[in-house]
Chain A
């Protein structure tokens, strides 16, 4: 049934990101360089998926990274990994930007959105990223078509579930359940535990 791709310890983006963030929280600028190296790529990837525009994506990415520096003293490791914290922030900021700039972008670019699957083709020298990408790609394949579309349009494109429903011409309830059970299936497939 479920294709379990990865069991046990999962690949971590840099084994010491937690330590680095803890040092950043104490104001160490050198440690922030390490945080940058670990997270700048994922942050840019998330932001660009949502915003598309290159210049804007870089601007938002930089803002997110500066916000990471600024708010690191308030990050609480007991409540989740640093990577989760930072990518949640990145996604939120990207979504904020896209919704403030043009709320109707989704409708206008309907065809383009539907045609686009997430960009798994980016070149990255990091092995962890390649492994992560492989795993996620395989796990996405275990989803039903509706689950996959709901998850990718909402997460990678930053659409609200109402916009997703409109785009796919589906009832709201269907989209919200597909989003949830799609993510649950991904969670199980990726072996996420907290």
Chain B
């Protein structure tokens, strides 16, 4: 397929929905690994929206009432429980890329998938995604509840700078940990909070806390394993492979 050579040149066709499914998937794969391209897609999508605005046309007068009547009977989707790395996590693609690349993908998707990327996928299969996201959210909250309610759950709280505080809850039997932040200030623009497992001084990423999630219980990504504590740092949007800043919080797990 010609487009496989350089998916980057397909950004224009991508935002105009002028690709066939297979190519679209290729472009999305590429975007997840290419920050520059994702930013370009975001800008071109805004540009396309301007093209749309320019052809606005007055709808039939009665349509307003029709639509307002319709929405009154439509149940709304639940909000996403956490930053959504979802659309990219298809088993097929996961097999094709290395573990590291997949992590980079997911991080990239969270960070600069940007308007365009996210919204295109959103539009493409909003229904599927709604179902998947609900399912994921349910699964996450089930697991979170299971950790918090585990008979062997132990917790420890700490106070951080800026009046924020956090509590970490660990369940050895479930091999999972949860972090509950309280009043965490918004990260600086372009930054996110990243959770880490402390494996004897070596840090292992355990998920991101995005803007607007400063007061929330989160299941930490991945098993506790041999981790003896957790850390929280401010990282560039999308997160890092290793901490790049002084920890905002560093706590030993309760024993």
Contacts and interface: CB of A to CB of B under 8 A. Distances in A.
Interface in A55-101: 58, 61-62, 65-67, 69-74, 76, 78-81, 83-85, 87-93, 95
A190 B76 contact: no
Contacts of A179: 12-13, 16, 18
Interface string A168-187: 00001101111111111011
Given A32-B71, A182-B12, A83 B49 contact: yes
A53 interface: no
Contacts of A122: 55-58
Contacts of A158: 17
B71 A29 contact: yes
Interface stretch (B28-36, B38-46, B89-97): B38-46
A129 interface: yes
Contacts of B48: 87-88, 91, 155, 183
A46 B63 contact: no
Interface of B: 2-3, 9-13, 15-20, 39-40, 42-60, 63-64, 66-68, 70-72, 74-80, 113-116, 118-120, 122-124, 126, 130, 133, 210-212
14 contacts: A36-B64, A42-B53, A44-B58, A45-B56, A71-B77, A71-B126, A85-B122, A88-B116, A122-B55, A125-B58, A179-B13, A183-B16, A186-B50, A192-B46
Contact of B79 (A25, A78, A79, A178): A25
A79 to B, nearest CB: 5
A123 interface: yes
Contacts of A70: 71, 74-77
A9 interface: no
Contact of A161 (B13, B46, B126): B13
Q: Which of B18, B39, B70, B116 has the most CB of A within 10 A?
A: B18
A120 B54 contact: yes
Given A89-B122, A90-B52, A79 B60 contact: no
Contact of A74 (B16, B51, B55, B133): B133
A78 B211 CA distance: 8
Contact of A187 (B9, B13, B43, B63): B43
Q: Which of A70, A87, A156, A160 has the most CB of B within 10 A?
A: A87
A90 B51 CA distance: 13
A167 interface: no
Nearest to B133: A74
If over half of B's interface residues share one DSSP class (helix, strand or loop), that class is named, otherwise mixed; here it is helix
A169 B51 CA distance: 25
Nearest to B78: A73
Contact of A42 (B11, B56, B79, B116): B56
B53 to A, nearest CB: 5
Given A89-B122, A179-B13, A192-B46, A66 B70 contact: yes
Nearest to A24: B76
Contacts of A161: 13, 16, 18-19
B57 A45 contact: yes
Contact of B58 (A41, A120, A135, A192): A41
Contact of B55 (A46, A69, A71, A123): A46
B18 A136 contact: no
A69 B9 CA distance: 34
Interface string A98-118: 000000000000000000001
B46 A172 contact: no
Nearest to A180: B12
A136 B60 CA distance: 25
Given A27-B76, A79-B115, A186 B51 contact: yes
A84 B119 contact: yes
A80 B63 contact: no
Given A44-B56, A176-B12, 17 more contacts: A25-B76, A29-B72, A33-B68, A37-B64, A40-B64, A66-B67, A80-B114, A81-B49, A91-B48, A132-B50, A133-B56, A159-B18, A173-B9, A181-B12, A184-B12, A190-B47, A192-B50
B53 A132 contact: yes
